[in-house]
Amino acid sequence: MAGRNDAALPLLEEALTLTKRIGLKQSEAGALIDLAEGYLAAGRTDEAQRTVAEGLALAQAQGERGNETTALRILADIAAAAEPLDVADAEEAYRRARASAEALRMSPEAARCQLGLGRMLDRAGRREDARCALAVAAAEFETMQMSA
């Protein structure tokens, strides 16, 4: 989040390794999802895709709906970064993730979904839709006093 991917990724990888080594299943899905987000931030989308898929499967198996929601949002972010961009696919991914976040009242995740959706639409050239989505996201962030 501070943009220091080179420092963050080894820590995230180590956290996952240690979690797996001691069998702390409670933290494993979270560690996978955090690492996937790190890979995505570093532009390593293939690894992000693979890692988040593993995290999503584990979260679903263990009934960890909060982690599942975050994983869905990251999958949407990955879809939004794809080349070529499949707008419908990415849009659907964001809507699915946001629905999950809203169901759990995970407002920060819902706001992040909205932000991602707006950026993706902007990239797709749908300026007006993007502006609307980003306005909603900005309001939500503002409400929670969050930084994007």
Partner 1 sequence: MPRLELTLLGGFAARDAEHGLLHLPRRKAEALLAYLACGGGSSHPRDKLAALLWPDVSDAQARHSLRQTLASLRQALPPGALRIDGPTVGLDPDTADVDVLTFRRLAAEGTPGALAHAAAMYGGDFLAGLDVRDAPPFEEWLQSEREALRDLALTSLARVLAWQRDANDPAGALHTALRLLALDPLQEVVHRTVMRLMAAQGRRDAALRQYQTCVDLLQRELGVEPEAETKQLYREILRQREHSRPSVDDARDRADLPAPASPPAPLGETALVGRRWEMDRLRAGLDAVWDGRGIGFALLGEAGIGKSRLAGEMMAEATVRGGRGLVGCAHESEQILAFGVWRDLFRVPAMPREVLSKLDARQRADLAPLLSEAPGSSAPTGDALQEFEAVTALLAALAGLSPTLVLLEDVHWADEMSLRLLAFATRRLASAPVAFLVTAREEELAAVPYVRRIFDEFRRSGHLEVIALSGLSAEETAELIMAATRTGAEATPDTGQRLWAVSGGNPFVVLETLRAAREAGAVAEGRSDVTRSQRIRELVNARVERLGPHERSLAAAAAVLGQPSDFPLLSTVAGVSEDDAAEAVETLVRSRLLRAEGEQLVLTHDWLATVIYHELVAARRTILHRRAAKALEAEPAAREPLRIGLHYARGGVWDKAALHLERAAVIAARTAAYHEATQCADLALDALAHLPASRECQERQAEVLLLCGLGLLVTADFERGLWTYEEAERLAVATGDAARVRRARHGRSWTLGSLGRHAEALAAAESARALASESGDQLDALFADVIMDRARYSLGRYEECVVERPRVADVRPATGGSAPADLRYMDPRIFPVHVRSRALARRGEFAAAIRLGRGMLDAADRVGRAPGRVMGSLALGQAYLGQGEIALALPPLEQAASVSREAELWIFSRALWPRSARRIEWPVGTTPPCPCSKRP
**In this complex, which beta carbon is closest to partner 1, that of residue 1 or of residue 46?**
1
**In this complex, which beta carbon is closest to partner 1, that of residue 111 or of residue 117?**
111
DSSP annotation of 23: T
- Minimum CB distance to partner 1, residue 94 (Å): 18
Q: Which of 4, 78, 71, 90 lies closest to 44 in space, CA to CA?
A: 78
**In this complex, which beta carbon is closest to partner 1, that of residue 63 or of residue 84?**
63
Residues lying near partner 1 in the complex (CB under 8 A) are found at 1-2, 18, 21-26, 28-29, 58, 61-69, 104-109, 111, 143-148
For residue 147, the tally of other CB atoms under 10 A from its CB is 6
- Minimum CB distance to partner 1, residue 90 (Å): 23
- Minimum CB distance to partner 1, residue 51 (Å): 17
Residues 6+ apart with CB under 8 A from 72: 56, 93, 96, 97, 100
Tokens of 52: 């988040």
- Minimum CB distance to partner 1, residue 82 (Å): 25
**In this complex, which beta carbon is closest to partner 1, that of residue 21 or of residue 84?**
21
Q: Which of 74, 38, 39 lies closest to 53 in space, CA to CA?
A: 74
Rounded to whole angstroms, the Cα distance separating 16 from 94 reads 26
